[in-house]
Amino acid sequence: MRCLVTGATGYIGGRLAPRLLAEGRAVRCLARTPGRLRDVPWAAQVEIVEGDLRRAETLPAAMRGVDVVYYLVHSLGQAGFEAADREAATNVAAAAREAGVRRIVYLGGPEPTDTAAVSAHLRSRAEVARILLASGVPTAVLRAAVIIGSGSASFEMLRYLTERLPVMVTPRWVRNRIQPIAVRDVLQYLLACLDLPAGVNRAFDIGGPDVLTFTDMMQRYAAVAGLRRRIVVPVRPLTPTLSSYWVGLVTPVPNRIARPLVESLVHEAVAHEHDIARYVPDPPGGLTGFDAAVRLALAKVRDADVETRWSTASGPDAAAEPLPTDPQWSGGSVYTDVQERRVAATVPELWRVIEGVGGENGWYSFPLAWAVRGWLDRLVGGVGLRRGRRDPHRLRVGEALDFWRVEEIVPGELLRLRAEMRLPGRAWLEMRAEPAGDGQSRYVQRAVFLPRGLAGHAYWAAVTPFHTVVFGGMARNIAHHAETPR
């Protein structure tokens, strides 16, 4: 079976394609900019074709020999997105019918009960569904509300609002009921649509086991993320338009995306039926609950390599983690300080200095600042610098090093330390030795901080002015020490 995935560079499409491959399906990906798929781990396993759903002439070649078309695109964030989505859906319907496609699968939005003042976002999603259902090609429309997973625009709004605002004044819609669904369950439904009976041509509501208000979701996110309970004060004057500007101010989610999403939240988004279960049984343990979905979305905070988006989307839980194709504003806040130096010494000579940091050897920069940081840490109940190091020359994974813990060592290449001092977040310090040619090397030093709550953001802002002195001096002195003959 050959599947065409439209929107493969997007949030859902980028997670669906590798799962189709894992099930042995032949996958063709349609992209306006094929280069955006060049570096995804599964690029060599799929056929990538250039095309645009709004350019009808590009679609016949893309759909030739295709059994199932996954329609996973929308123009949210563009001016006139309703007209753009209408044109794209009309083109896909005609091209799929002409090519003899057996099924279209579309991931849409919830159907509001109050249709008198439906938001433009939901109105457009419903119109696309109607066009595809009337295409003459059997179509399955999956109607989902808020999708829980890192990279989902709705989830990112929830994440940033909750983490950055311990006290918030909110519009009344935060009390509306919503039935969120984990991205892993959405993907499972999308995969299962391949096996629907040929005559099925209808929409299905899909949702997780929890029906919550937006306030409930913020409070439960805070609990899972280890934050204090949020103080939420709903007020009448905050209209959806004002709310979207407020979201754009507080979060990195662009206003052009936040506004239609916020306008959609004025409608309750609860599944009215669970007919999909006639064809796709719930998993043995049931659909993923909200708290579990949030934990999966936050599980990527497990080592310092956060902004490389290491997930290959190969496992069932990896869908909740970031991917290289996700928007830059997704995945939570990650602060970094990177220092690089070319070193007139060999990689082994540089590595000798890197592996010798800490303890009696010190940190090669501003000793008083490191000492003060250690005293402050002990003052608030932390470990301080008193632990030193076990061996003055060698380190091993898992051992303590002052107020760090050795998390990873690749001899001659990488030392990664995880902070164990008291912090409003999680921090790592990474040091690398790389060959630079001509018998020289390159020293790369990276500090990474993942803030927890508003205090975490304030902490990073407070210490940033000192980074040039402390981390810059550290990189400079490590390079100098490696170049000094022993």
| CATH numbers and ranges of domains, the chain | 2-320 (3.40.50.720), 335-483 (3.30.530.20)
Q: What is the DSSP letter of 459?
A: H
Which tens digits make up the pLDDT trace of 281-298? 888 889 999 999 999 888
Q: What is the dihedral of CA 311, 313, 315, 317, to 10 degrees?
A: 80
- The whole-angstrom separation of Cα 203 and Cα 143 is 7
- The whole-angstrom separation of Cα 467 and Cα 449 is 13
- The whole-angstrom separation of Cα 301 and Cα 79 is 35
- The distance of Cα 72 from the centroid of its chain, to the nearest Å, equals 17
For 339-349, what is the mean pLDDT? 94
Q: Are 274 and 263 in contact (CB under 8 A)?
A: no
In this prediction, residue 316 carries a pLDDT of: 46
Which tens digits make up the pLDDT trace of 375-421? 776 777 766 666 777 788 888 888 888 888 898 999 999 999 998 88
Question: 168 pairs with which residues across the strands?
Answer: 232
What is the model's pTM?
Answer: 0.72
**Beta strand residue intervals within 13-100, DSSP E:** 26-31, 47-50, 68-71
Q: Are 403 and 417 in contact (CB under 8 A)?
A: no
Query: What is the Cα gyration radius of the chain?
Result: 26
Amino acid residing at 218: M
Which tens digits make up the pLDDT trace of 227-242? 889 988 877 665 666 6
- Band of pLDDT at residue 83, cut at 50, 70 and 90: very high
Tell me which of 290 and 331 has the higher pLDDT: 290
Q: How many CA atoms lie within 13 A of 386 on its CB side?
A: 9
- The whole-angstrom separation of Cα 397 and Cα 349 is 21
In this structure, what token pair is assigned to residue 331? 């995945």
- Band of pLDDT at residue 312, cut at 50, 70 and 90: very low
Q: Are 277 and 205 in contact (CB under 8 A)?
A: no
In this prediction, residue 417 carries a pLDDT of: 92
C-alpha distances out from residue 155 to 172, 361, 450, Å: 19, 45, 18
Amino acid residing at 31: A
Q: What is the DSSP letter of 276?
A: G
113: three-class secondary structure by DSSP: coil
Please state the φ and ψ torsions of residue 240, each to the nearest 5 degrees.
-55, -40
Alpha helices, DSSP H only, in 318-366?
347-355
Query: How many beta carbons lie within 10 A of that of residue 324, not counting itself?
Result: 16
Amino acid residing at 451: P
